[in-house]
Structure 1
Amino acid sequence: MDHINNESKAEKYVFITESGSCYILTIDRDQAKWLERDNLNQPMLRRDNQKIYVQAIIHLAIGQPALLFLELLGQGNVTIRNTSTAVQMHEVQL
């Protein structure tokens, strides 16, 4: 597997970045997407170890940084999660 996008099948996916962060991306049967980050001793990000609703996968591919449009936190600008380069990814059965 080398990429995940908004049309990917309902599944649980794990991707690991160059910085060592481990992300779990769940796409449910209704195509709703949820992201969790296990911080693995990395600097904390907003809502680490909690599910965050993903409004859209902008880009997620091996060898490139991931770009995800996340739910807004209160009022304000869009929230984009930009990761370091994705180095591994695989499916986990739901």
Structure 2
Amino acid sequence: VDGIRLDEGVGAKETSDMTYNPYGIKVELNMSVMNHYIDNVMDFEPNRACLVGYHNFYPHRYAGISESFFLEGSKKFKKYGLRTAAFV
């Protein structure tokens, strides 16, 4: 296992704690939401090397996000120096 994807199913502290796992497993967060979850996670000082942001992937026609939404969501993660990704 290289990583696990969380869609805000646990609290911010628990998410931060998971980044300190002994296996180096990446904790992947959903970047396609406009809320303060990442800010709350960062309040608990996670291991940034094990925290990654991914935009959602919907394999349906016309289900993609707009460029402006993509950039705004990415900006929130980039301000913390986190790695980000998106399916294209």
What is the TM-score of this pair, normalised by structure 2?
0.23
The structure where strand makes up a greater share of residues is 1
